[in-house]
Chains A and B, each alone.
Chain A
Amino acid sequence: MVAIIKKQSDLVLLLCFAAAVLAGPVILQPFGAGYPDLLQKFAIFGIFAIGFNILFGLTGYLSFGHAAFLGIGSYTAVWTFKLLSMNPLPAVLLATLLGGLFAALIGFISLRRTGIYFSILTLAFAQMSYNLAYSVLTPITNGETGLQLRQADPRVLDVAFGRDYGAVLPSSDLFGIDMTGYPGFYFCAAVLILCFYISMRIFRSPFGMMLRAVKSNQNRMNYTGLNTRPYALAAFVISGMYAGLAGGLLAVTDPLAGAERMQWTASGEVVLMTILGGTGTLLGPVIGAGAIKYFENIFSAFNENILLNTFSFLPETLQHAVVSVASLFVGEGWHLTLGALFMVIVIFLPGGLMEGVRRFGVLFKRKADSDGPTETQPASAE
């Protein structure tokens, strides 16, 4: 009985999620975020955070090096564009695979330690990858400039299928549909929904339960006949594949891969996204990713003129005082806003934004209960 209800509520959650993602351009329009470039970022970093949450949320292993897999995904995708085809499918497929492969390698070594030592090992590996990409591996990564497409790239498959891009620099297209603007967003959105579904299946499976057991008590797991290492490694590889996929999608929407994508700040960002949204929840990471990318793109675009307009109803001296304070928090200072928000969330809502939603739900339910049915009925009649 309980099982049936659970299955149905999962289906409802998935459908609601899919509907919200697909209606994203409309829903986010009033917030000034309804344009495809930003929506793509929401979707891509949502995928990155969902994957990260499978590792951090379920097993509790805090990786500080996941940006490495993001970068590897981007490089793989751009190389696939250059060598094989401008179709995004082989690019994201190979990006996912290579992300997983590198995760297997780094995870195998890093998972010999737990806690802070694990985090430091992953951080060290990511910084190594960053430095390799930035300097040593310049023939592969094109170093500082970043890996770019060229007209002269071979594109073996495109040539074989008679696809000619002429004298312009090609952009990726899915069987003739250009991957920029809204088609690009809907491609990312479809992948995001698929990724969310996979993560949901993992959360609800015996394997997902084992991953939560890894977080809870490894000692008991060992004495229960379970080998914890392959479980943690599997979670690490899965999250590495998600990161690779996200990196591949970044390259699909903008065929350029630079080493800065692998820097430790990018690794830290996905940790923030997951914690902000709600570690170990299904929806949280996507919401956290959206929130951070929103701040990064919207708040950073505010400048003094916009602020002066906003506070134009105030007397002039007061207006200038308010603007000079507020301008610390926007534009270049958006990190300050993010930091303050992060502190507020972690202190008052340790479970992230999802805990806020849950508490709000409980409050609402309690209020509805205490108001009694006589009060709620007219409301529903309206």
Chain B
Amino acid sequence: MASILSVQNVNKRFGGLKALDEVNLEIEPGTVHAIIGPNGAGKSTLLNCFVGRLTPDVGTVTFEDHSLIGLAPHEINQLGVSRVFQTPEIFGDLTLLENVMIPYFAKRDGAFSLNAWKPMAGQNDVRGKAEEMLADVGLGEKHAMVANSLSRGDKRRLELAMCLVQQPKLLLLDEPTAGMARADTNNTIDLLKTIASRGITMVVIEHDMHVVFSLADKISVLAQGHVIAEGAPNDIKGDPRVQEAYLGGAEI
């Protein structure tokens, strides 16, 4: 099967630190691919190379047939890649409804559109879509609230709705359950499972093994900038190299 995202020989240095060292990764369409690894393994660096925040020193990142190297974040998003951040990035001063309408407009009208003469009041279709999406993530009743007044868990749900309303081909999630209570985590897992069942390809960076093993079809383990293991969840569980990396053996 042709992969939707292909990462080849990616290297990234920060001064003397080699954050990514010859990373190769193939993400297959329709799967949930988890990237795990100890702190400082290079997971977030790798993700930042997918979305245009960082440019690899060497190597290629290809999404479908497009090289992502040198593209700006908004150009990559327009290709169909959406991202959820570790700390939710939302439009805090705007209402939930506006938060979800903005990405929809971005998808429909492109990176810039000077539609200054059309009244918002006439955009009932967009409004309907946004309301539907908010209801989908369980924030339907709060649509008129200002986003900053939400709890952290709700902010994450809102950010997810903002990504999903764009119907992305690839959804990148950076620790989607970090700092959540167990009940909230389980809700998020269920939500992500529903999303996965709609056929959206996901790449998840996660610390919580419970989340990883409930969601992932495939796992890549990153340690000190290398991919040290890759495979189905059950293979990874028993892999001695992985246990060594997590127990600190790799530091010797």
Residue ranges of A at the interface with B (Cβ–Cβ < 8 Å): 3-4, 6-7, 201-202, 204-210, 212-213, 215-217, 219-227, 230-231, 234
- Asked whether, in the complex, the Cβ of B92 is within 8 Å of the Cβ of A206, the reply is no
For the complex of A and B, 7 pairs with smallest distance between CB atoms: A225-B77, A207-B116, A3-B121, A227-B111, A216-B91, A225-B106, A220-B89
On whether A220 and B106 interact (CB within 8 A), knowing A201-B117, A204-B119, the answer reads no
Instruction: Count B interface residues, CB 8 Å.
Output: 41
Residue ranges of B at the interface with A (Cβ–Cβ < 8 Å): 51, 72-74, 77-78, 82-83, 85, 89-94, 98, 101-103, 105-107, 109-124, 127, 162, 166
| Chain A min CB distance to B62 (Å) | 19
- Asked whether, in the complex, the Cβ of B94 is within 8 Å of the Cβ of A216, the reply is yes
Residues of A within 8 A of B111 (CB): 225-227, 230
On whether A205 and B116 interact (CB within 8 A), knowing A224-B77, A226-B106, the answer reads yes
| Chain B min CB distance to A220 (Å) | 4
- Asked whether, in the complex, the Cβ of A210 is within 8 Å of the Cβ of B119, the reply is no
- Asked whether, in the complex, the Cβ of A225 is within 8 Å of the Cβ of B78, the reply is yes
| Chain B min CB distance to A319 (Å) | 52
Q: How far does the alpha carbon of A220 sit from the alpha carbon of B51 in the complex, in Å? A: 12
Partner among B85, B94, B112, B121 whose Cβ is within 8 Å of the Cβ of A213: B94
Closest residue of chain B to A222, judged by CB? B73
Residues of A within 8 A of B93 (CB): 212, 215-216
- Asked whether, in the complex, the Cβ of A227 is within 8 Å of the Cβ of B74, the reply is yes
Residues of A within 8 A of B107 (CB): 225
- Asked whether, in the complex, the Cβ of B91 is within 8 Å of the Cβ of A220, the reply is yes
Q: How far does the alpha carbon of A205 sit from the alpha carbon of B120 in the complex, in Å? A: 5
- Asked whether, in the complex, the Cβ of B116 is within 8 Å of the Cβ of A224, the reply is no
Q: How far does the alpha carbon of A7 sit from the alpha carbon of B98 in the complex, in Å? A: 17
- Asked whether, in the complex, the Cβ of B103 is within 8 Å of the Cβ of A207, the reply is no
Partner among B73, B113, B115 whose Cβ is within 8 Å of the Cβ of A223: B73
Q: How far does the alpha carbon of A379 sit from the alpha carbon of B119 in the complex, in Å? A: 39
- Asked whether, in the complex, the Cβ of A224 is within 8 Å of the Cβ of B98, the reply is no
Q: How far does the alpha carbon of A226 sit from the alpha carbon of B73 in the complex, in Å? A: 9
Selected A-B contacts with CB under 8 Å, 13 pairs: A3-B121, A3-B122, A3-B124, A206-B109, A212-B94, A217-B90, A217-B92, A220-B90, A222-B72, A222-B74, A223-B77, A224-B106, A225-B166
Partner among B74, B105, B127 whose Cβ is within 8 Å of the Cβ of A210: B105
| Chain B min CB distance to A9 (Å) | 11
- Asked whether, in the complex, the Cβ of A207 is within 8 Å of the Cβ of B89, the reply is no
- Asked whether, in the complex, the Cβ of B105 is within 8 Å of the Cβ of A206, the reply is yes
Closest residue of chain A to B116, judged by CB? A207
- Asked whether, in the complex, the Cβ of B89 is within 8 Å of the Cβ of A226, the reply is no
On whether A205 and B117 interact (CB within 8 A), knowing A3-B124, A226-B106, the answer reads yes
Partner among A7, A205, A224 whose Cβ is within 8 Å of the Cβ of B102: A224
On whether A209 and B120 interact (CB within 8 A), knowing A223-B51, A227-B111, the answer reads yes
Closest residue of chain B to A234, judged by CB? B114
| Chain A min CB distance to B88 (Å) | 9
Most buried by B among A3, A206, A213, A234: A206
Q: How far does the alpha carbon of A226 sit from the alpha carbon of B112 in the complex, in Å? A: 6
- Asked whether, in the complex, the Cβ of B102 is within 8 Å of the Cβ of A6, the reply is no
On whether A216 and B92 interact (CB within 8 A), knowing A210-B105, A224-B77, the answer reads yes
Q: How far does the alpha carbon of A217 sit from the alpha carbon of B87 in the complex, in Å? A: 13
Residues of A within 8 A of B123 (CB): 206
- Asked whether, in the complex, the Cβ of A223 is within 8 Å of the Cβ of B89, the reply is yes
Residues of A within 8 A of B113 (CB): 206-207
Residues of B within 8 A of A205 (CB): 115-120
Residues of A within 8 A of B110 (CB): 225
